[in-house]
Amino acid sequence: MSGKVVVDTNVPIAANGRGTHADEPCQLECAKAIRDVGSDGTVVILDDLDLIWKEYKRRLNFRGQPGVGDAFFKYVSDHMHSDQSRVSLVPVTPVGDDKQGFAELPQNTLDRDDRKFLAVAVAANALILNATDSDWRQQHALLRNLSITVKQLCPQHA
């Protein structure tokens, strides 16, 4: 993969294989993708307000066990303040406009919970990894206008 990625929370959740509607091929693809992140020089991009990290924290395990997604969360937690070559924080600016969400975005109809991922991808010019969220596919015009690519790891679910 190599480069910069914003990882939607559904990817490590699917990689864990529990609490998800992802089928086994999807779970395996997500596990491979997030394993590659730590081994091929890809930089995980998060926001400087910890919005993504807090969402990971609610859904994943700090101990890095028992799943691959939990190991990814531990990796992110271990490196987010110490190694910008592995995890980098970018500034984003929330705004009060319900149709926009962040200054980095134009007005849009993207799910409010997903806007943080898109704002971070725009701020860092990064790829977004998605597993099971269909909102990304529905927003192809917005993504094209922002020059952002979403890699659908599980097109059968998106």
- Tens-place pLDDT, residues 7-25: 999 999 999 998 788 999 9
Q: Which of 68, 78, 66 is nearest to 30 (CA)?
A: 68
Distance separating alpha carbons of residues 91 and 69, to the nearest angstrom:
25
3 state DSSP class of 129: strand
Percentage with pLDDT > 90 across the chain: 84
Q: What band does 1 get if pLDDT is binned at 50, 70 and 90?
A: low
- Residue 75: pLDDT over 80: yes
User: Contacts for 107-113 with beta carbons within 8 Å, 24 or more apart?
Assistant: 108/139, 108/142, 109/139, 109/142, 110/135, 110/139, 110/142, 111/135, 113/55
Q: Quick check: helix, strand or coil at residue 70?
A: helix
Residue 34 CB coordination number (10 Å): 28
Domains of the chain: residue spans and CATH: 4-152 (3.40.50)
